Amino acid sequence: MTEIGIPTTDLSGVPEVIPSELAVLDVREDHEWAAGHIAGATHIPLGQLQARVGELDPSARTVVVCHLGGRSARATEWLHAQGHDVVNLAGGMEAWEQAGRPVAT
């Protein structure tokens, strides 16, 4: 599934327990992250992504998440253009939590 050229998946494309070969990048702000995130995710707020992109493995399949999917779509588009293997999670943490998936705090 792709949104306007942005690699995108819905919740059915992401296992409830994230396997070790799949990375998760959370681009929400600090207070959103503190309220709850996917266990094992890397936290880099969208505004810091360009400066901190070196912290990410471009070859690792990465699911990018935010609250609803807007900021993560922008991050996914930019990272994809940089050669990263990324996919945006449509619905973001809102969809994750509504599905009753586990949230770390």
Beginning with the edge strand found earlier in the chain, give each strand of the sheet holding 61-65 in spatial order: 2-3, 6-9, 86-89, 61-65, 22-26, 42-43
**Marked catalytic residue, from 6, 23, 49, 66:** 66
User: What phi and psi values does residue 36 have, to the nearest 5 degrees?
Assistant: 150, 135
Known catalytic residue at 30: no
Residues with a catalytic annotation lie at 66
